[in-house]
Structure 1
Amino acid sequence: MDFTPTEAQDDLGRLTRSIVEKLVTPERQRELDSADDRFDQRLWTALADAGVLAAALPDSVGGGGFGILEQCTVLRELGRQVAAVPYLSSIVLAADTIAAYGSAEQQDWARRAATGDIVLTAALAEEHNDDPARPATRAEPDGDGWLLTGAKITVPVATRATRVLVPASTPDGVVVFVVDPTSDGVTITPQRVVDFSAEAYVEFAGVRVGSADVLGSVESGAEIVARLLTRAAVGLSASQLGTLDRALELVGDYARERVQFDRPIGTFQAVGQRLADAYIDVKGVRLTLWQAAWSLSEGLPSETEVHTAKFWAADAGHRVAHTVIHVHGGVGLDTEHPVHRYFLAAKHNEFALGSATDHLRKLGATLASVPA
């Protein structure tokens, strides 16, 4: 295993950080909090103009030909500033998957997403269903097409998306559809989530989808869903790494500057121990993330590594987020203070597409299935 960043990772990381740090300010974040949907169009356009959106997509859709390692680098930098842009859902999940499996017509959606012209998304989560690989949403054959029925929750940027990837169960297995959200029978209701992300509840009431709307084929549906869930878990872990890394920097600075009883609070043993534990936790998130991303980039079996990474992102993320708030004391509870935003982002990443317990169970099931 090689943890040395690629040249493209270094370049993309520096470019993304320079753009994000310039445009994402506390004032801009507060402005977005009051918006109907928390989407930073100015930042999204800047990333598109700089080539960041296209860089880690395949050549076939006008991308730079890089992959998951570079995508994780971008997500880490966006996570550092809790940037309100759908890079994970639009680029890493939807556009990249369409590039890999889509028809020539469908790949045009990925090509346009790479330029920032449109936004794509993927609807993976369902209420009362802890196994997105077996969706409760169903599609029944109807002539030369299908009728799609069901609901998805916490769908990123659904109110802005031009197309939505929707996994559904059929009599022949799981199929992924490329759905137009303006179709008859689709209802999109914005949801209020913990970190004010632009997410929505999307209902499908007998939505007519044609055979041309099937991504890949009926036979490849389960493979596509597995790919989406794997990359979603790794992408969330990368975003969580950036969020926790920056939060640790902020709380470290505060512990050096905040004086109590004539001493910086960082010199108190209890505070120092919690900060040391948080430092180790962030190291664990970093190690397991890059292990999973590297395995994926090499085409190796990665199920164990992916569940381990998401477990650490959730479990360690919980501890670090609470340490940041506790060390800041009452200041950390102020919703106007920057660290509170990091707490909310870390909680979102902790539970999105499975909590620590969910992924620990899946990890245990994976390990139990390996022959001794």
Structure 2
Amino acid sequence: MDFTPTEEQTAARELAARIFGDLSTPERLSAAGTGTDAELWKALCATGLTSAVEDVGLLGLVLLLEEQGRTTAQVPFAVNCVYGLLGVGRHGTEEQRARLLPALRDGSAVATGAFPDQGAVRAGTDGRLTGTTGWVPWLRDATHVLVPDADRGLWLVRVADAGTVPVETTAPWAAAALRLDATPAERLGSGEAYGDVLAAARVAFAGLQAGVCAGSLARAVAHTSVREQFGRPLATRQAVQLRAADAHMDTEAIRVTTYEAAWRFDEGLPCATQVLTAGWWASEAGRRVVHTGQHLHGGIGADLDHPVHRHFLWGRQIGAHLGCGARLLDELGAVLAHEEKEETA
């Protein structure tokens, strides 16, 4: 395994870091509320960072999402890339790719996904969908939504054809519930498309979590280095150092497991266990890190307007989106048992 970024991936990550760092400031984040920062989204699309995902692969996307997570930038970058550009690009027909990808690249269309599958949507023989999903990230700002049915077939739905009910989530992700009542949809991909898209989405959100945790920890380190107690910076206290060290190790564990899963995905290698491992670390360790980041800020960490609180909210939301650790471990155990059974057969 070689996780060394290619020249193209490095250039894309540096550009993303510059754009997110310049435009995703605490003042702009506060002004954006729960919706998309239109100027930031326009800048990302105009520089080609959205379309670059088709060239840099899932590992490249993870690198870009780390930069988004560091600043908790208020744009539907993750969902549009993984459910739109990668989902349609990998599983759409030639006609679907020609029709949908240009708008997804330039940001005039935004895709999201009703994942993970809850088995609540049924597809009729006429290709119309009926059912209700839970909250879908960025649905209020999306033009298309990728929906799995009860049989794990994938369907692409125009949001304008469906019903949506706004849902307020822990992080301000412009979420909504999806209401489908004989809603027209178009099939996307074959029977294996669901597992492929779900795996890519889990890895992408784990990468986003790695950035959120890194950003939270960086703020905590900066704060404890200048905040004094009894004439000494908090960072000189052993208890503070140990908490920060544990958070650093957790963040690195999220990062390395996510890189491995993304690399195997891009190489076309079996990656089911690696994807679930990355998801577990992102969910469980991510929660610990953002709690530590807030705790090390003392009382101001509980200030709803403080930048570190956004990292706390995003970290908890990503954990909820990926699923609790016990659920992911249960799924991982089933995969490992199946693999062992096949090896001994």
Q: TM-score range by the shorter chain?
A: over 0.9
1:158 correspondence with 2:139: yes
Identify unmatched segments of 5+ residues in structure 1: 58-64, 126-131
Alignment match of 1:198 (pick from 158, 174, 179)? 174
In 2, Cα distance between equivalents of 1:93 and 1:69: 15
1:68 correspondence with 2:48: no
1:94 correspondence with 2:79: no
In 1, Cα distance between equivalents of 2:270 and 2:184: 36
Partner amino acid, structure 2, of 1:368: A
Task: Report the Cα offset of residue 368 of structure 1.
Answer: 2.0
In 2, Cα distance between equivalents of 1:175 and 1:205: 17
Q: Does the CA-based 8 Å contact 2:84-2:104 persist in structure 1?
A: no
Q: Does the CA-based 8 Å contact 1:307-1:359 persist in structure 2?
A: yes
Specify the alignment match of 2:309 in structure 1. Answer: 340
Specify the alignment match of 1:5 in structure 2. Answer: 5
Specify the alignment match of 2:187 in structure 1. Answer: 214
In 2, Cα distance between equivalents of 1:266 and 1:97: 45
Partner of 2:155, secondary structure, is: strand
Normalized per residue, the structure richer in helix is: 2
Specify the alignment match of 1:129 in structure 2. Answer: none
Partner amino acid, structure 2, of 1:288: T
Q: Does the CA-based 8 Å contact 1:53-1:115 persist in structure 2?
A: yes
Specify the alignment match of 1:174 in structure 2. Answer: 152
Alignment match of 1:124 (pick from 96, 115, 128)? 115
Deviations 1:11-44 (A, max 9, x none): 01100111111111111011112xxx42111111
Partner amino acid, structure 1, of 2:123: A
Alignment match of 1:226 (pick from 163, 174, 195)? 195
Structure 1: which 4+ aligned runs deviate by more than 6 Å? none
Partner amino acid, structure 1, of 2:94: A
Q: Does the CA-based 8 Å contact 1:96-1:110 persist in structure 2?
A: no
Partner amino acid, structure 2, of 1:206: A
In 1, Cα distance between equivalents of 2:184 and 2:220: 51
1:50 correspondence with 2:47: yes
Specify the alignment match of 2:70 in structure 1. Answer: 80
Partner of 1:121, secondary structure, is: strand
In 1, Cα distance between equivalents of 2:213 and 2:10: 20
- Cα RMSD of the aligned pairs, angstroms, is 1.4
TM-score calculated relative to the size of structure 1 = 0.88
Identify unmatched segments of 5+ residues in structure 2: none
Task: Report the Cα offset of residue 151 of structure 1.
Answer: 1.1
Deviations 1:134-193 (A, max 9, x none): 62211121xxx2331111222122223222211113xxx43211112222xx21011100
Alignment match of 1:135 (pick from 119, 127, 142)? 119
Residues 305 and 276 (structure 1 numbering): CA distance in 2 closer, same or farther, change over 3 Å? same
Residues 174 and 273 (structure 1 numbering): CA distance in 2 closer, same or farther, change over 3 Å? closer
In 1, Cα distance between equivalents of 2:311 and 2:137: 19
Task: Report the Cα offset of residue 214 of structure 1.
Answer: 1.2
Task: Report the Cα offset of residue 263 of structure 1.
Answer: 1.1
Partner amino acid, structure 2, of 1:328: H
1:244 correspondence with 2:244: no
In 2, Cα distance between equivalents of 1:164 and 1:283: 32
Q: Does the CA-based 8 Å contact 1:69-1:294 persist in structure 2?
A: yes
Partner of 2:159, secondary structure, is: coil
Partner of 1:138, secondary structure, is: strand
Deviations 1:188-236 (A, max 9, x none): 0111000111111011122244xxx1112xxx13x11111110111001
